[in-house]
Amino acid sequence: MEPLQQDDPRRLGPYRLAGVLGSGGMGHVYLGRDGAGGVAAVKVLRPELADDPHMVKRFLREAEAARAVRSRGVARVLATRTEGGRQWIAAEFLAGPTLERAVERYGPLDEAAVRALGAALARTLRDIHAAGLVHRDLKPANIVLTSDGPRVIDFGIARAEHGLTLTATGQAPATPGYAAPEQVLGQRTGPAGDVFALGAVLAFAASGRRAYGGGHVAAVQYQVVHGEPELDAVPAAVREVAEPCLATDPARRPSPERLARLLAPPWRGRKAWRTGPLARDIAERERAAGQLATAPDDDGDGGSRARDALGARDALGARDGPGAPTGPARRRIAITLAGAATALAAGGGGAAWWLLRRDDAAADGHPWDAEPLSGYTEGTAPQPLWGPLEASAETAPLPVRDLVVVAARGGGLAAFGVRDGKRRWRQPDAAPGARTLAAGADTVLAADGDGALLALAADDGRPRWTLRTADAAVLLAVSADTVCFTTRDGALRAVSLASHRPLWTAEPPVRGFAASPGTASPGTASPGATSPGAASFAAAAGAGRLVLCGTDGRAAALSTRDGRRVWGPRKRGERALVPAVAGGTAYLGGTELTALELADGRERWARPSGAEEGWGAPAVDGGRVYATDGASLYARRVSDGGDVWTLSLVSEPLPPQPPVVERNSVWTALDASGEDGVAAVDRRGGKSAWLYTQNGEGPWRQAAAGNRVFLLRGGALTAMPVF
């Protein structure tokens, strides 16, 4: 980064400019810092172009185009304004190097890294095209490598898909060697033009050489239109994918969707450039950006060193916009699952990494709490506390005091001691598919196969009381002294835990999942053995409200006192996602991650999704809300939804189930099938701790309590330590 010169502006809008990141044909790019410590790349149109309406329009169109794209693979525009005769755009600052700089400095990427790069870029192109745009200048210099994947920048010549060219006579429409033949010839350039550029990018990344050489621009353009790409130095596996992208006929090029599937790397390849010297370069740049964000305005040596570390020209992005909080939690930390996934050994057993608390446990704990890990080896999963134990995978584990209750193999419920995993009791009459709930610290609620509501003593599983006329199908939530559930004919019902009598029955305000034996809807309680036609919803309760999310993607809240609808239904997405209720607020996933006042449904804040699938179900703990969006796990502030950290975990969208939070760890499954395992993330900085897998089939079901995380998959229950 170069120091400011005399004629450079010192402040634009909320940004105090700290130095010059680079210059281009249209303007300069400065590093800006707002009053709250947020950093941004501020691009300013050159003064000599400010009076040219065509150039001003092109400059502002860059911001409009980038804003139109809903994708995490695109640098986010924070603001655009005209001030003092200067047009400027503030975009998020991306501290990593460009692909061009990375290959020049560290050499070509290996095959796994190229596949991960290509798959991510293909998905970004899909998102760009879905917004009705064509980037038209995809090249290594416009791809920034960050700790969570590549990001596409510079929409300066992006156009709506139906557009031809944006350039005036004599101006090159795009970078020679990356512009498609139809673009070189001034013909209509559609999405296939970006696919051509992606093929050239893959060839460069894999070989360090351009697919179309030649010293003069005209020679390169002639080769693009009439010649063949030079791919001899490209590894065969990459060449097989890149070559069809470089077809002269746009109709013969593959779609971004197909490329994403063809390039998707295996799990071990997903860490791509996240190890080695390039990863250290990215980490150092991000560390320097964090230092700069928190450096004092008088700019001591720390700020100067941080700016020096950022280097020149590799700019575009600050994850947080004006007014966002400062501090190290803002940094983007890469996943570093360096070790192989730890498979569960048959027989399980204890581990040297943990100790149970003594009976004289600390006042803020319980005698049955486990001692947390004092540390961990990044990328290496610790041994389980105990397990695997046989259990049915119909419902998630339910921790109750010193027990964890699960559906038993062969029917009914079983309870195991959390200290040693020994079975404490079994209740054969319960229908585990109807879900179990804890009512206080000493009662487990369940339903039997005839629809009776059962209240079981937690310590021994014996019935405390039974309501045989409940007609209970799927238990939804407990709020204070009320349990809410669906009946076998699809109604909602509430029963008083004090009087054991029904309080109200109501028609659901949202559409539920029609259950049949042994089936379940994603994000809902498993109906298990309930009768056909029974409805299940994603639900949570608190402060006198039952919040429901239906399979129609709508959410609503009812009063737990009388069953009347308080607010909603509101459309949130296309699937049922478990809501989170905490502190008088309901948090909902879907097309937006939203915080609503529980009392009346008033919106407190909303953050749009950057992925086609939308936000997953949220979890709330310690002033943060955790949720997945696409392939990343987010931590956001409960106060305003501001970004605390983001961690990209995989190349495909994560399952929509809520993460599990315990102590300093956040746990999330990596795929819907369960095959890729569960990632444990250090919530203190948003970095990956380890990946855990175990044998079996089917998705993961998780719960946490007492410094343990209980993992259930394929009929095996395991207790894991936390830190």
DSSP state of 288: H
Backbone φ and ψ for 59, nearest 5 degrees, come out as -65, -45
Q: What is the DSSP string of 291-344?
A: HHHHS-TT--HHHHHHHHHH-SS---B-SS-TT---SGGGS-------SPPBPP
Q: Are strands 443-447 and 437-439 parallel, antiparallel or unpaired?
A: antiparallel
Q: In 10 A of CB 352, how many CB atoms?
A: 7
Strands (E), 499-640: 502-506, 513-515, 534-536, 538-542, 545-549, 554-559, 565-571, 580-582, 585-588, 592-597, 603-608, 619-621, 624-629, 632-637
3-state helix, strand, coil in the chain (%, to 5): 20, 35, 45
Residue 131, strand partner residues: none
Q: How far apart are CA 159 and CA 189, in angstroms?
A: 9
461 CA to centre of own chain: 39
Q: How far apart are CA 208 and CA 13, in angstroms?
A: 40
Q: Is 43 annotated as a binding residue?
A: yes
Q: How far apart are CA 203 and CA 233, in angstroms?
A: 8
Q: In 10 A of CB 673, how many CB atoms?
A: 12
In the chain, the amino acid numbered 237 is A
DSSP state of 269: G
* HSE-CB for 173 with a 13 A CA cutoff: 24
Q: How far apart are CA 179 and CA 30, in angstroms?
A: 28
**Exposed e or buried b for every residue in 176-204, given b needs 16+ CB within 10 A?**
bbbbbbbbbeeeebbbbbbbbbbbbbbbb
Q: How far apart are CA 576 and CA 616, in angstroms?
A: 10
What's the token pair of residue 103? 């290959």
DSSP state of 232: T
690 CA to centre of own chain: 17
Are 200 and 177 in contact, with CB atoms under 8 Å apart? Answer: yes
Residue 545, strand partner residues: 542, 559
In the chain, the amino acid numbered 467 is L
Q: How far apart are CA 452 and CA 450, in angstroms?
A: 6
Q: How far apart are CA 97 and CA 76, in angstroms?
A: 17
Q: In 10 A of CB 450, how many CB atoms?
A: 13
Q: In 10 A of CB 41, how many CB atoms?
A: 25
Cis omega (within 30 of 0) on the bond before 532? no
Binding-site sequence positions: 43
Binding-site sequence positions for ATP: 43
